Structure 1
């Protein structure tokens, strides 16, 4: 049995980049994100590509929260450039910044290590490990142990509100599972589309849109996209907003029916034909 072969595809990266990256104080999560970005840019002989946070999470077997946090830091460090911001129909366009002289490693990583709850360095008494070994050990722990709940994960290094409803889907994997169980097989194209929708409105709302599509007998992804596009346009962001929107729709329909009934009552009765004939005869004499 042959192992992986170059004929099956390979990623061209300059040795100088690899040598410089290997000296950077990046954590394990950041390295994995970087590998995915390289794979889907340089691996396809392109400098940039649309990559949603959810797609990166699936490709790297990381949680969305880890990808969101560490990708933000890679952007702050100027290692990753955001070429184009995400829209409803497309993910952010990301690119690796090969000009390492412009990277902001020291300032950014020191700030994060000083203030972040999950990534701060161990300042306990020496345990026989040099700083690099201890950092590597901490990185492995960070990538294999569960993340603390949101209230414990609110140090200065976290810049997003990660609070989520306990009964709602928290990861895109749950959205993929729901799609596969109710719609069909997920192709890479569909996975990217679902990732874009989740980026636009969140996993729980994507599942809600899929449920509505099932109820209406329209198990099609473009139908789900149309629902989400309307929600985004009307600022519907939660299941509670959906309920309120349905109540408003019912009330508007009720008012419209009532107006139609009132207008129908006000329509004058048709003229009496016999009476008109008599009046006509009188005029003719």
Structure 2
């Protein structure tokens, strides 16, 4: 009797996308001495990653310092926001980073850097803390599930009164607000109020909840919310409840906004006002405007689809709004997607179409 085991080595192999980097896609100009200083510095792996991330966020944009939220560093390094904040404070104490008001950057005076063994030891995780982390928490979860877990955890762990570091969290919320709404607000007072307000059973609102409400309000409300309106504490419970439902996709289009496809539709109908695809990114207000329209419903109560946008662009092109288009330099996709203009333009285009149809029938 022969016991032969057959192995199919290629069955589970998946094609891997080939990724090649090039300086044509951007590069960071850094002094050689600074790189050597970082390479020889007595840093932990976490601190090293965070130093490089700050370098990317400053020198990568030809800046010495900038307002950089912990969340941005977390997105680059894969380190949790809490650990980013902790390592950032350590690097500031070691003079590897410097703070200038609300901005932060790499300290180029490398001779001023100093390293404390106590800081390095504090970066280790105790066995007790390790045991607290369940295997479940290492599994990737959705945004809505993350918020639910955070909500349950804060019920037990969040103190009645804020305990240190709230100014950093308020600054983080402000930075998130400015980045999301393309604003330049400088006061953290509204966010400090939200973070120090008790919502229920001795629990304060968290930074994650404040940021979720910020994102929800900006994408759902018809106008840009101010920090004071967002942090109106007599209404914040309602805001948070609506934001959680929205985040669960119960009140927004279940299909993600197909930006490239919609921009291509626009370019086909309006070649003289074509949008460069590489210029269409999240930093552009119209990018978020397109998502706001996509996450709305048609007059029939259905979620918008690509064919709906194709019809709308076609109606706009045929409307009187486009008469003398060569003189109307302001008539662009950005202008149409503005919250103040979209409904008016759409209604006018539909009204003219119905009138022309009635005229033909008569």
Scaled by the length of structure 1, what TM-score is found?
Answer: 0.47
Bigger RCO of structures 1 and 2 (CA < 8 A, at least 6 apart): 1
